[in-house]
Structure formats: structure tokens, C-alpha cells
Structure 1
Amino acid sequence: MEYTIFILLLPVLMFLFLGLTGHKLKPSVAGICGTISLGIVAVLSYLTAIQYFTAPRVNGIYQTLIPYNIEWLRFTQHLHIDIGVFLDPISVMMLVVVSTVSFMVHIYSMGYMKGEKGFHRYYAFLSLFTFAMMGLVLATNIFQMYIFWELVGVSSYLLIGFYYTKPTAIAASKKAFIVTRFADLGFLLGILILSFFGNTFSFTELMSGTCETVLKTAAGQTFLGGSVIAWGLGLMFLGGAGKSAMFPFHIWLPDAMEGPTPVSALIHAATMVVAGVYLVARMFPLYIGFAPDVLSAIAYVGAFTALFSATIACVQTDIKRVLAFSTISQIGFMIVALGVCTGMDTHEGLGYMASMFHLFTHAMFKALLFLGAGSIIHAVHSNEMDHMGGLRKYMPITHITFLIACLAIAGIPPFSGFFSKDEILAAAFKFSPVIGWLMTFVAGLTAFYMFRLYYNIFWGKEAEHEHTPHESPLVMTFPLMFLAAITLVAGFIPFGELVSSNGEAYHIHLDVVVASVSVCVAVASIIIATIFYRKPEQTIPNMLGKKFRGLHTAATHRFYIDEVWMFITHKVIFRCISTPIAWFDRHVVDGFMNFLAWSTQEASFSIRGFQSGRVQQYAYVFLIGALVIIVGLLLFI
């Protein structure tokens, strides 16, 4: 399967081609080139998946393949950094997810971004983003993953700030870049700790028996009450929490909506935000073997984040921000699913399979939601729900596909979200009834705020528009229909047969009790949303908003977490730490160096007369010096 290297090469070559020569091409030609390149990448990814998953298992397990690998940097006899392609069930699954969503975004952008200044630059950045995410999921070692991890951050910075003349877009891109850099420092420290004790960066060696013995010995060494391996894995999750927008690093994601809407679909569905989930899944055997307490803490972080962001989504009025907080909540579901695993066995590791399954289904219907939102914004030229209403009459394709995605994320059978979310809830109940009921409640909130969004857009009171809204062109509606079709059938994929915690086939069993409860909660939430928002007069929401004004205001302002971050950075870090350091640097360090320069200059001016060039003066100084030496010798002898 050496051809898989072209999955990496084609996007980066297209990035270089469009970046260097795109300005000389017609915008449509640049878009077609980028789209064809991603189409080839998608075909190669599907071919890889078919070839990999149809290959015979060895001892009931899909084998890990490394069709391409070269040594890049060597530090010691055993420690070196390689660049290559790593194929196992989750990396192959991610190839399908990333290539599918990216390809649909490329097609969709041909219509959505038509006429935009910098069209070729946009497609160049899309290719770079895809290359970065492909390199991340195909990494053979944790340092290669880190390299592409940072490249994903750079790519997101470029795309979020695509409208570089818009101050809010500039601020959002910087915010995303800086916040994730804070978290990525933890990831780097975790890599260094793990590689120091494991003496390798390679995933296969870290999971092997030899390295496991070394890590078990190192796990006996403690720091502040925890093993150093647990600290390393915990710090690595810190990086994942930043990329996947877990609390409190979630603040960058809603502002990332300042980028073009297709970019939002790419970031939220298949690339940046799922990187943290993929990281925990990739290191899953180490978490289970050496840091089960860290894994449990990860579950609680994910649960709180899911509840926190779902609550905020219930009151947002910008449709893209509703979807942004929805993404944070759904990523929380995936993190919880990984955190509630208690072992490598397929039943103990049910959450692992459920997390990857939900990552797959969520990528499709969340991309559909964002692209549908882009179609709506394209029609009404606004992100605010107050400027919408009654659009089902004007945009039938967008309406139906958006409704399918809403039903899927709400967990209504037979849509794909029902099957993956049911497995997460089953795993959560198995771990702790408290976590199980909490996630069931969050699932109900999800159904509520998504149908609040749906009714405000397509039903309710029709807003006045300068131009009559119309359906988007085929180049934009085709990706909607394609993703809607996947959303309809993806739940029936025997996902457990392909991806599981220990590589063995797992037949998904529907937990009737959990499924019945979750469906009832979802249906009840949809009914409540229908009563609240179906009609133009939204008297009940307005009454509740006034009655619970404090909670409503706090949720509208995202519970003031952004303000807390600003206080910490400006009042604490900048004023109490950075300012004293700057004063010390300016007055002590610079002052000392300036003193050295001044004293040297003054001394040189004082003694420059000795270099007059007059022989008589030199003879006089020589004579005085000789006399001083003679007198000194006579006195001390």
C-alpha cells in the first residue's frame, strides 16, 4: 500500500502550486485544481479503507501496517524521529472522514466563495489544512504527530483569519492560535517525558512488550503523588483539550466562526477539533495501562464541557455560534466515551468504539449542518436568527437536509447519530449512573437547542429581506445531499466489526433500556422546542428569559469565561508577572549591560593619553614603571 504516500503528497504539492502560481490563474481554475486534487486524495483514501478492512485478520485482529517510513533525525542509538505512514483501524477511518468532508468543502466553496478576493489563496490554505490533518492521523510516532499538530494550528490561523482586513477575524485567528499554543506546551512536555522514559517516539514500540516493561518500571517513579508516566499522559491530554476545545480552552472555538463558513465545517467536523479525541484514542493502551485515573479525569472534563457548552447553545442567536457550542458539546461526548473505558477488552472498552463511531457520524452531520448554515447565510446575508424565519418555502433542499442533520444529532432513529450516541450512553451508564444520566440530560439539551435553531430558521416569523431568498446553486446543494445521504445510512455500518479497543471484532448490541430512555428524552425535548419556537409568537421563551434573567444573561455571555481569561492574562499574568519581569529586564539586565558599556568607554577615554605616539612619553612611562617594580622588589625581599 505504498500509494498511501500520495495521500500526503498531493495536498502539499497543491498548496505549493496554488500558493506560488494561483494568482496567475483564473479563480475558477484554481478552485478546480484544488478540488480535483482532493478528489484524488478521497479516492485513494477510500481505496486504502477498502483494501485494509477487506484484508484477512491475523489472530482475529487487523494488523498495523507501515507502508512508508524514513528516518529523519537521530538523537541516540534508539531515539530518533521518523516520517512515515501508519495504518491501523482508527487512522484508516480518519482518512475516510477527513478526505470526505474536505472534498465536500472544496466542492461547496466553488459556489460559496465565488467572487471573493484571494480565491486561490483560500484553496491553497484548504490544501495545507488537509495535508496537516492527514499527516497527523498517519503519523508513525508522537513527534511526527506533534509536527503536524502544530501545522494544523498554523493552517487554522490562516483560514480563520482569511478575511485579514476584518478586525474581528484577525482577533479570532490570533485567539485560536495563542490559546492552543498554551495547551500545546503541555503536549510537548508530555512527549518529552514519555520519550525520555520509553526511549522512543514510535507508536508501535511504545505499545510493544519491551517498552511496556520499561514504562512499568518508570511508572514506579512519582512526582507530587502521581507517577511520572501519568503526568506525561496527563500533559499530553492538555494539548488535546486545547485542540478539541475542552473547558477551559474552549474560548477560541466560537470566535473561529469569523472565518468563511466552509472553513467552519472543516475545522468543526473533521480536522482540528477531533485531533484531541484522536490523540487520546491513539494513546489509549498507555492510558489504560499506566494512567487509568487520568482517563477517569478525562471523562469528567468531557462531561462538564458537554453540559456547559450545551447550556450556552440554548440561548445563542448567531446560527454559527450555536453550531460551534454544539461541536464543543459533541466532542465532550467523545471524550467521555474514551474516559469511561476500564480495560482493553471489547466490553470494557465499549466507549472506545463508541467514541470513534460518534466521531465518524458526527463529522458527516456536523459538516452538513455547517454547510447548510452557509447556504442560509448565502441567501439572507446574515448569521442572526432574527433575520431568518420561514425559509423552508424558499430553500427546500437546504431545509430537508438541515432537518435530517438535526434529527441525527438529536439522536432520533434511524439516523446515524442515534446509533453512535446510544453506545456512548450505554458505556457511560456502565461506568457510573451519574455520568450516564448527566449525558442523557445533555443529549436532551442537544435535541432542544438544535430544533430551536431549526424552527427559528425555517419556520416562525418570516423576516423582511431586500431580495427574496433563493435556494443555493447545485455546486452548494450537492454536498448537502451527499452528506445527508451518508447521515441516513452511516448508523447501519457495522462499525464495531472494524474498530474496537483491542482490534477484535465487536458486534454492536443495542441496549433497549438506554435507547428507549434516550429517544424519549430526545422526543420530549423536540416537543418542548416545537411548543416554544414553532409559532411566530415566542411568548414562552420570552417569559422564561425574563423570569430567569440572571441565568439567561450569564449563558448569553458564555458564563463570562472569556472575561475570566482576560482578567487572568491582563491583570495577573501581564501586570503581576510580565510587568515586573519587563522592569527587571529593562532596569537591571539592560542597566547592568549599559553600565559595563559606560564604564568601559569612560576608562578608555581616561587612558587614551597613553597611546599618544610620542616616544618621550613612552620612555617616561617605561622608566616610572621600572622604578616602581624595583622599589617593590626591594621592599618585599
Structure 2
Amino acid sequence: MDALLLPLIVFCPLLAAGILFVSAGRMPARASCMIGAGSVGLSALLAGRLAASFLAAPLPAGTLHMALWSWMRVEGFSTRIAFALDPLSLVMMLVVTGVGFLILLYACGYMHDDPDIARFFGCMTLFVAAMLVLVFSSDLLSLYIGWEGVGICSYLLIGFWHTDTANVVAARKAFIVTRIGDAAMLCGLLLLATQASTLDIAALLHIVATGPAQLLPATAAFLLLGGAAAKSAQVPLQTWLPDAMAGPTPVSALIHAATMVTAGVYLIARLHPLFMAVPVAMKAVALVGLITLLLAAGSALVQTDIKRILAYSTMSQIGYMFLALGSGAWQAAIFHLVTHAFFKALLFMAAGAVILRVHHRQDIYQMGGLAPAMPVVFSAFLAGAAALAGLPLLTAGFYSKEMILQGAWHANPLLWAGALLGAFATAIYIFRCVFIVFLGTRHTEPTGRTGATMAIPLACLAILALAGGWMEMPDTIAPVHLLSHLLSPLFGTATAEGPSWLLWAGSLVPLAGVGVAWLLWRPRTQARTAPEDAIARLARTGWGFDTLYDTLLVRPFITLGRLNQSDLCDRLSDATAATTRAGSRMLSRMQSGQVRRYAGWIAAGTVVALCLGIRP
């Protein structure tokens, strides 16, 4: 009976998407909101029911299966559409449906006056359904369907306000960059299929564990890493994420917190035995994460758009997850994925509430002094900022980040030092945002109020951002390891804790970052502006990656296309087509429909043939 809940959890938002798309423009806004948010809320209730049943009576095999249908069967290879629930997909299911519901409930207030609200909720519910397919799939080919589904939904949602050219360009950029990674991932899946003759995840991982090492080459791991890096906006395929802020704020919250950018983390965690069999791939994952978290944190320090600050923050925090994955701290990566979903959704939704009330302005230097005018939003944003910075003891982000630092220390002290530097920069840039936006002199007078449909999700996520880390704590504080115990059948025993001074370092560094932010951006009477030195300008543009790709790839490709408009091949093709058309016209004149002319041509042909035959 419980197995039937798996497809039903996916079907609820999928059915809602179909209804909303078919009835777009003919349904009241309130009905669109109820169908959109209600369907994901129903999925969240079913997910809670399934989770309670799964945890109360764990299955002997540790996995709940539901086969839907056989997709294809050829000689030596078969694949099927099937769902499976294990501890990892259980955690992801609760995050996607729970946080997703709060985001859609918030969107009911944020988007209530948009004329295309039905299309918006249709795309959002389809997004959630695609992510659930990705999470539940027990076969990599059906997982790839969900993988591509979240990609096309992100394109539709980033470019939702398509009358603005900049939004369309941002959506196209996200689509193209992530397609590069998707192509790499597809090549990796095809390589696995040819080498292992299966894409069933359980069978594939069994082959990795028991089969010869050369059966699954390192090439497949690196191709899958390319797909994960693009989807999770990691170096060198991270350039699409800051521009994705062109979409409505609920879209940003959904993409950054509960769905798309965590897909790469989930993929590597799901296939962790494959990556563990290739040590160089593990090192590459850790290195990609470390570089991304430092570069993104540096860019966030100098941004002036509040949503772009949070976008670079997402890149940096996903970098922490990649660092944990590459260090073998699998539980730490999933723990930070969960806490990040709480505080990043909270930060985006609080930022959206601010943007609405300051007349859609997003420049933090045009805000200031907003705390007295919107205390609820300020409290929510402050809770999210504290969790993102990892302030000790009080926030969920502290416990998950501390677990990552412990894992990085055991893997390589240099990785730990880089992660600690990133934690310091994180505290600086997020409290820079807090101090500039909510304290000091007010530059824009806010209007309106934050309605209940927006305030309730903010309150729920604020509680989770503060208390959500209590599921996993260091032994020095309290021997609580609920998440590690849940995930241990998949990942084994969690990494042992290091010396106690590591905990002190991880606690004091974020506090030092807050102190630095206060010294630099505390309330002052004089007007403040963004730094304009060369390094700041370079960091603000994402360290020049867009310029590099534009120079090396985009411009040569456009130039080649222009040259190809009138090249020799085109001229030869045009000449061949013209000759064919001329011959066709000449031959068509012979088809007059007059019998006597046909007889004349026959007689003439006969005379010619006789002449050729009797010629000496």
C-alpha cells in the first residue's frame, strides 16, 4: 500500500500542472493558487505519511520499490520506469515537497496580481513533479527524464516575464549552459550502459562494488561530474545562475533551495560508490567545490543587487556540499543540503518581500533603515542570514557547516583551511547585506504590508533555519546523530570528529566575519557606495568567466555562422538547386497532355535510334 504513494506524490503536482496549463487564462487567480499550492501541499502530506511509515517499520532491504512499466528491452539491455524510496530519497522527498509547498504558498501572495498566474503555477508544479521523478527514479535513464524536466522548467520560469528581452536572454543562457552539462551526463550514461549493460542504479552499484575496476572507467565519473557541475552551478559551468535572478523571486527560491541546484549533489551522493572507485574523481569533486565556494563568496562581497548576492551565496554553499562529497563526508553534504534549503528559501522569500515593498528596487544601496518599517521581514531575513553565516549554537547552518569542516579536515587540512576562509567571507557578505538594507538611513520609503500568505512561510522557515540543525550535533555539544543514523545504511558510519579546537575555530570565524562586516558597513550618516577598484569590478562580473566564454566561444561561433551564410558550399548547393529547377521546368513542357505531340516525340526518337543503329 505504501508503494502506491510514490507515484501518487508525483502525480498530484503533475495533474495540477496539466489542469493549469489547459485552463490558463480562463481560471480565477485564487483558483490557480489553490490548485498550485494545494497540489504540492497534498504531496507534502502524503510524503509525511510515507516517511512516518518508512521510519516506523524499516524494510529488510531498506528500500521501497514500485515498478510502473518496462520502457525498452533490447538484446543485452533493458530499462524500466520504476520508483524507489530509501533513506536518501526520503530526505530529498521531504525537502522538495515541504519547502516547495511553503514557496508556492508564498507565491500566492507574491504573484496574486500577475495576469499569467495560471501559467506560473503550472510551470512551478511541473518543476516540483520533475524533481520528484529525479529523486524517486531507480533507473538512471528515468532519472535523466526528471533531470531534463527540471531543466526545461527552469527555462520557462527564468524567462517567465518574456516581454523583457533581458529575461529571455537569461533563460536562454541557463538553458544552453546546463545543456552542455546534460550532454556530458548523457555520454556518461551511455558509457555506463555499454560497459555494465544496465542503468538500474542498484545493479550498477553492485557491479561497482563486486566487479572488476576497469569495467566502469573514470571517464564515466568525470562525465557525470560535468553534468552535476552544470546543474548545480559549479566552476566552470556556473555562469548561468546569477542571471537566473531574472525570474520572479519564488522561482529563485525554488531553484536555489529545494530543486534544481541540489540535483547535482543528489546525483553524486546517489552514485557515491562509483566516485569512490575513482579516487581522482573524488579529488576533482572536492577541488571544484572549494574553488567555487571561494570565487562565489568573493563575488557576493561586492554585489549590489540583493538577489545576486543570494545567487552567488547559493553557488558558494553548493560548493561546500561538493567539498563534502569529494571529502567522503556524505552525511555532511546531505545535512547541509537540508539546512541550506531552509535558510536559502527563507532569505530569497524575505528579499522578495523587501523588493515588493520598495517598489521593485533591488539595489541594496537604495534601501536602508527598513527594519522598523517591516519587523517581521527583518526578523526572518536576520534568522536566515545567521543560519547562512553559521553563527554557533543558534542556527542550523552552524551544525551542518561544522560537520563539513570536520570531514574536510580528515580529507586534507588545506581543504579545511579553504572552507574556513569561505565561512569567514560568508559571514561578511551576508551581514553586509543585513546592515545596509535594514539599518542606517532610509533611502526608499516602503509601502504596503506583507500579507499572511507570505508571512506564514517566512515564520515556518525561520524556525527551521534556527532549529533544523538539532537533528545532528557534535558530540562535544550533544550526542545527537539522527540524520547520520538514518543515512548510515547507504553511506556507512559518519566521519569521526576531530580535535576540539576545530569546533572552536568553526565557531569563532563566523563571529569574526560579523564583526568585520559591522566595522565596514555599520550605520553611518554619509551615503555609501559600492567599491569600484579593479578587483571589485572583476569580482562583480563573476571573475570574468562570461567575458572569457564570450571571447573564446560565443563570438567565434557567431562569426562562423555569419561567414557560413554565403560560403562556397552554400553557392554550390544553390547552383545545384537552380539547375534542378531549370531542368524540371524544361521537362515539364514536354508533358502537354496532347497525344499527337507524344506520338511525334516517339517518332522522332525512333528515327534517331534507327540512324544511330545503321551508322557505319
Which amino acid is 1:391 matched to? L
Which whole-Å deviations, capped at 9, do the CAs of 1:115-160 have from their partners, x for residues lacking one?
Answer: 1111122111111111111111111111111111111111111111
Change (3 A) 1:375 1:510: farther
Which of 457, 482, 487 aligns to 1:479? It is 457
| Structure 2 equivalent of residue 16 of structure 1 | 18
After superposition, where does 1:320-331 map in structure 2 within 5 Å?
320-331=307-318
After superposition, where does 1:538-549 map in structure 2 within 5 Å?
545=531, 549=533
Q: Distance in 2 between the 1:81 and 1:114 partners?
A: 43
After superposition, where does 1:518-557 map in structure 2 within 5 Å?
518-537=506-525, 545=531, 549-557=533-541
Change (3 A) 1:591 1:50: farther
Q: Aligned residues, how many?
A: 602
- Percent identity between matched residues is 33
Q: Distance in 1 between the 2:598 and 2:5 partners?
A: 82
Q: Distance in 1 between the 2:8 and 2:555 partners?
A: 49
Q: Distance in 1 between the 2:25 and 2:380 partners?
A: 35
Which of 450, 454, 469 aligns to 1:491? It is 469
Which amino acid is 1:70 matched to? W
| Structure 2 equivalent of residue 340 of structure 1 | 327
Q: Distance in 2 between the 1:411 and 1:426 partners?
A: 14
Find out whether 1:565 has 2:549 as its counterpart: yes
Which amino acid is 1:387 matched to? Q
* More divergent stretch after superposition (562-571 vs 120-129): 562-571
| Structure 1 equivalent of residue 64 of structure 2 | 65
1:208 match: secondary structure: helix
Alpha-carbon RMSD across the aligned residues, in angstroms, is: 2.6
Which amino acid is 1:53 matched to? L
| Structure 1 equivalent of residue 355 of structure 2 | 377
Change (3 A) 1:422 1:619: same
Q: TM-score, normalised by structure 1?
A: 0.89
Q: Is the 8 A contact 1:14 1:124 kept in 2?
A: yes
| Structure 2 equivalent of residue 357 of structure 1 | 335
Find out whether 1:255 has 2:243 as its counterpart: yes
Which of 133, 142, 155 aligns to 2:140? It is 142
After superposition, where does 1:234-313 map in structure 2 within 5 Å?
234-289=222-277, 291-313=278-300
Which amino acid is 1:127 matched to? T
After superposition, where does 1:401-416 map in structure 2 within 5 Å?
401-414=380-393, 415-416=395-396
1:69 match: secondary structure: strand
| Structure 1 equivalent of residue 186 of structure 2 | 188
Which of 145, 153, 156 aligns to 2:154? It is 156
Which whole-Å deviations, capped at 9, do the CAs of 1:309-333 have from their partners, x for residues lacking one?
Answer: 1100000011000000000000011
1:462 match: secondary structure: coil
Q: TM-score, normalised by structure 2?
A: 0.92
Shift of residue 57, structure 1, vs aligned partner: 6.4
Shift of residue 607, structure 1, vs aligned partner: 12
| Structure 2 equivalent of residue 515 of structure 1 | 503
Which of 417, 423, 440 aligns to 1:443? It is 423
Q: Distance in 1 between the 2:525 and 2:298 partners?
A: 23
Q: Distance in 1 between the 2:79 and 2:574 partners?
A: 40
Shift of residue 560, structure 1, vs aligned partner: 2.4
Which whole-Å deviations, capped at 9, do the CAs of 1:177-196 have from their partners, x for residues lacking one?
Answer: 12111221111111111111
Q: Distance in 1 between the 2:489 and 2:577 partners?
A: 60
Which of 587, 602, 610 aligns to 1:626? It is 610
Which amino acid is 1:81 matched to? T
Shift of residue 524, structure 1, vs aligned partner: 0.8
Which amino acid is 2:554 matched to? H
Q: Specify every segment of 5 or more residues in structure 2 that has no aligned partner in the other structure, as ranges.
A: 472-481
Which amino acid is 2:557 matched to? I
* More divergent stretch after superposition (299-308 vs 316-325): 299-308
Which amino acid is 1:516 matched to? W
Which amino acid is 1:446 matched to? T
| Structure 1 equivalent of residue 344 of structure 2 | 366
Find out whether 1:393 has 2:393 as its counterpart: no
* More divergent stretch after superposition (417-426 vs 78-87): 78-87
* More divergent stretch after superposition (620-629 vs 193-202): 620-629
Which whole-Å deviations, capped at 9, do the CAs of 1:239-267 have from their partners, x for residues lacking one?
Answer: 11111111222111111111111111000
Q: Is the 8 A contact 1:190 1:235 kept in 2?
A: yes
Q: Distance in 2 between the 1:579 and 1:523 partners?
A: 57
Change (3 A) 1:217 1:617: closer
2:457 match: secondary structure: helix
Q: Distance in 2 between the 1:578 and 1:612 partners?
A: 54
Q: Distance in 2 between the 1:501 and 1:175 partners?
A: 40
2:160 match: secondary structure: coil
Q: Distance in 1 between the 2:598 and 2:571 partners?
A: 43
Q: Distance in 1 between the 2:494 and 2:157 partners?
A: 39
* More divergent stretch after superposition (79-88 vs 94-103): 79-88
| Structure 2 equivalent of residue 54 of structure 1 | 56
Change (3 A) 1:296 1:504: closer
2:70 match: secondary structure: strand
